[in-house]
Amino acid sequence: MASHRRPKQPSRTRVTVLTATAAAAVALSAQSASADPQPSKTDVKTKVDKLHEEAEQATEKYNGAKEKQEKLEKQVGELQDKVARGQEELNKLRDGLGSMATAQYRSGSIDPTLQLLLSSDPDSYLEKASTLNQLSAKQADTLQQIAAKQRTLRQERAEATGKLADLESTRKALGERKSEVQGKLAEARDLLNTLTAKERAEVLGESDAAGQADKGGAKGGTDGSRAGRSESRPDLGKALPTSQRAGSALSAAQSKIGSPYVWGATGPNSFDCSGLTSWAYAQAGVTLPRISQDQANAGTRIYDQGSLKPGDLVIFYGDLHHVGLYAGNGQVLHAPRSGTNVRYEPMSNMPFQFGVRVG
């Protein structure tokens, strides 16, 4: 017989528990959503500034590794050429020694005393014997040359092998620094993309730099179409450079205002910080080292900001990873960071370490 009992209704206690559980789930969901809000413009700026500073540090390390690689490649090439020439000289010495040995063998191996007794022309024999003695002395000299050349070649080959190992290590470091720079810039770009175009421009510090992020690395971003565009020029005061070369370097850098910052770039259409200063001084006939840490030792250091003159190098941050040109009245002309252009900026925006007056 079928059961006609009514289904059991949930108890008041069970309903209460289920309701409380659902309410708790909704509350947790709301709490979770509020715990992960979009970062504010201030937060983004702080993080982006930090990432760009770290990227510039890595950029200067990249520049140093690249410079070292180029020097090592040149040294390795010269050593390899030297070894090849030395081997050629050694082969010639060996060939000459072989020819002398063959001549001796063909002259016969009869005892010289017996040859004298049997000779019908003692005078002729003595003349030949004298030639043979001279040949032996020459042969001994050739052997000494061969031994010396072999020692030299061993040393040169060992040096070349060491340089090649150093080159391989430098290439590896170069790749690591490149990946580090690209990673920092990608992270900064992602953060900037959470902002509006106007906010991005404000964070980057340029009204027309909204959304720009360095995608090209050392081989990209060479469009110099914005170089020399209209910029608001700050009051640079009336101080004069201490030398014609310093003035020429500053003028050269001023002609590149508006050119984009590109890490690893040395001009003429895009620059990183030390790329701009080295390019500017090159236009004045002065060769500066490639990286900011080395440029810090390129002249006389000036620790008093009040003693700086236009055209002096100005070094920033404790590890000296940023450099620009003093423009006057507390302003620096520099290539600031990825996403910006060559521009003037108050020196107070960065931790100044010292100036360098290039001799």
0.85 exceeded by pTM: no
Backbone angles phi, psi at 149, to 5 degrees: -65, -40
Do residue 170 and residue 264 come from a single domain? no
> Measured between alpha carbons, how far is 270 from 261 in angstroms, rounded to an integer?
6
| Structure-token pair, residue 291 | 């990286």
Q: Are 54 and 184 in contact (CB under 8 A)?
A: yes
| Structure-token pair, residue 333 | 């002309």
Do residue 174 and residue 46 come from a single domain? yes
Q: What is the CATH number of the domain that holds 151?
A: 1.10.287
Q: Are 104 and 140 in contact (CB under 8 A)?
A: no
> Measured between alpha carbons, how far is 202 from 209 in angstroms, rounded to an integer?
9
| Structure-token pair, residue 200 | 């991005």
**Domain-located, residue 210:** no
pLDDT confidence of residue 90? 83
**Domain-located, residue 315:** yes
**Domain-located, residue 202:** no
Tally of domains within the chain: 2
pLDDT confidence of residue 12? 53
Backbone angles phi, psi at 315, to 5 degrees: -110, 135
> Measured between alpha carbons, how far is 312 from 352 in angstroms, rounded to an integer?
13
Do residue 152 and residue 242 come from a single domain? no
pLDDT confidence of residue 142? 77
pLDDT confidence of residue 124? 66
Q: What is the CATH number of the domain that holds 334?
A: 3.90.1720.10
**Domain-located, residue 79:** yes
Q: Are 302 and 355 in contact (CB under 8 A)?
A: yes
pLDDT confidence of residue 281? 98
Q: Is 333 exposed, middle or buried (0-12, 13-18, 19+ CB in 10 A)?
A: buried
> Measured between alpha carbons, how far is 239 from 247 in angstroms, rounded to an integer?
11
Work out the number of other CB atoms within 10 angstroms of the CB of residue 15.
11
The tokens 């110099």 sit on which residue?
224
Do residue 228 and residue 292 come from a single domain? yes
Do residue 58 and residue 188 come from a single domain? yes
**Domain-located, residue 3:** no
Do residue 94 and residue 237 come from a single domain? no
Find the domain containing 271 and state its range: 223-358
Do residue 236 and residue 126 come from a single domain? no
**In 3D, which of 70, 64, 50, 62 has the Cα closest to residue 263?**
62
| Structure-token pair, residue 33 | 């959503």
299 DSSP β-pair partners: 358
Question: Which residue among 192, 213, 245 closes a domain?
Answer: 192
Do residue 336 and residue 236 come from a single domain? yes
Question: Which residue among 170, 192, 214 closes a domain?
Answer: 192
- The amino acid sitting at 98 is G
Work out the number of other CB atoms within 10 angstroms of the CB of residue 200.
25
**Domain-located, residue 218:** no
Do residue 289 and residue 346 come from a single domain? yes
The residues annotated as belonging to the active site are 273, 322, 334
pLDDT confidence of residue 106? 58
Work out the number of other CB atoms within 10 angstroms of the CB of residue 16.
11
- Largest separation between any pair of C-alpha atoms in the chain: 152
pLDDT by 10s per residue, the chain, length 359: 444 555 555 555 554 544 555 555 545 454 544 455 667 888 888 888 888 888 888 899 899 888 889 889 998 899 889 899 888 888 888 787 666 656 555 555 544 554 554 556 656 655 665 555 555 677 677 778 888 888 888 898 998 899 888 889 888 888 888 898 889 889 888 888 888 888 888 877 754 333 333 444 444 443 444 444 445 689 999 999 999 999 999 999 999 999 999 999 999 999 999 999 999 999 999 999 999 999 999 999 999 999 999 999 999 999 999 999 999 999 999 999 988 899 999 999 999 999 999 97
Do residue 232 and residue 302 come from a single domain? yes
The tokens 């003037």 sit on which residue?
344
260 DSSP β-pair partners: 341
Do residue 187 and residue 240 come from a single domain? no
- The amino acid sitting at 299 is G
**Domain-located, residue 143:** yes
Question: Which residue among 141, 170, 192 closes a domain?
Answer: 192
Do residue 184 and residue 50 come from a single domain? yes
**Domain-located, residue 23:** no
